[in-house]
């Protein structure tokens, strides 16, 4: 396990950077926009701001969602976030994107997902954590399975897929499937 990965809560000053990593990096084409993802257009700043509202970048409403900066040896290498926590089901959905291809393929994203899930479980009481990539994103699916996720047909409450072929993976602490 790589102990050099750290997560820190993002602040308002991180928002533009997180948007640029999502929409203007050499990894963008691996998750958004044509030619591979014409069904998931690259968001504009306005689209992004409508989804990633203020509470993702401050501590005002931690149950509604929060972004974190992923650091490797104090270099910022990406972002990971959770969305609204369903207090009945004790669940949430997460998203991750790294900042540049030079940080990918090293297992750092996998390690960030592991650390983040344990934080969500231990600190915010999440028993079920979902992630929903495109079936075309084989790297992401492989990474999430390595981080302890498995495919499920039980969709989260009010699930809105991002892709025409979204698949849902779950890390379920109730079933103690926490091996990774």
Ligand X SMILES: CC(C)(COP(=O)(O)OP(=O)(O)OC[C@H]1O[C@@H](n2cnc3c(N)ncnc32)[C@H](O)[C@@H]1OP(=O)(O)O)[C@@H](O)C(=O)NCCC(=O)NCCS
Q: What residues make contact with ligand X under the rule CB under 6 A?
A: 27, 30-31, 78, 96-98, 104-110, 133, 137-140, 142-143
Alpha carbon 160 to chain centroid distance? Answer: 15
Q: How far is the CB of 152 from ligand X (least distance, A)?
A: 15
What's the Cα-to-Cα distance from 166 to each of 84, 137, 150, rounded to whole Å? 19, 10, 14
Whichever of 57 and 109 has its CB closer to ligand X, that residue is 109
Task: Report yes or no: 100 and 34 within 8 Å, Cβ to Cβ.
Answer: no
Whichever of 102 and 125 has its CB closer to ligand X, that residue is 102
Instruction: Return the residue matching tokens 């640029």.
Output: 20
Q: How far is the CB of 102 from ligand X (least distance, A)?
A: 10
Whichever of 58 and 107 has its CB closer to ligand X, that residue is 107
Q: How far is the CB of 169 from ligand X (least distance, A)?
A: 10
Whichever of 61 and 106 has its CB closer to ligand X, that residue is 106
| CA nearest neighbour of 101 among 154, 44, 27 | 27
**What do you get for the CA distance between the two ends of the chain, in Å?**
10
Minimal CB distance residue for ligand X: 109
Evaluated on CA atoms 2, 116, 21, 15, the torsion sign reads negative
Q: How far is the CB of 60 from ligand X (least distance, A)?
A: 26
Whichever of 18 and 104 has its CB closer to ligand X, that residue is 104
Residues 6 or more apart from 6 whose CB is under 8 A from it?
70, 71, 74
Q: How far is the CB of 136 from ligand X (least distance, A)?
A: 10
């Amino acid at each position: 396990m790589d102990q050099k990965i750290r997560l820190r809560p993002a602040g308002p000053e991180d928002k533009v950077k997180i948007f640029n990593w999502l929409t203007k990096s050499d990894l963008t084409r691996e998750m958004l926009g044509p030619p591979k993802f014409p069904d998931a257009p690259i968001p504009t700043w306005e689209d992004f701001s409508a989804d990633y509202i203020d509470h993702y970048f401050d501590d005002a409403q931690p149950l509604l969602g929060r972004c974190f900066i992923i650091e490797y040896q104090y270099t910022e290498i990406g972002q990971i976030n959770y969305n609204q926590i369903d207090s009945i089901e004790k669940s949430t959905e997460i998203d991750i994107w790294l900042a540049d291809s030079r940080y990918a393929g090293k297992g750092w994203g996998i390690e960030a997902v592991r650390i983040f899930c344990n934080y969500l479980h231990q600190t915010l009481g999440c028993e079920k954590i979902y992630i929903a990539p495109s079936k075309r994103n084989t790297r992401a699916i492989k990474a999430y399975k390595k981080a302890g996720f498995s495919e499920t047909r039980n969709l989260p409450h009010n699930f809105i897929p991002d892709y025409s072929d979204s698949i849902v993976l779950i890390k379920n602490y109730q079933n103690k499937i926490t091996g990774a």
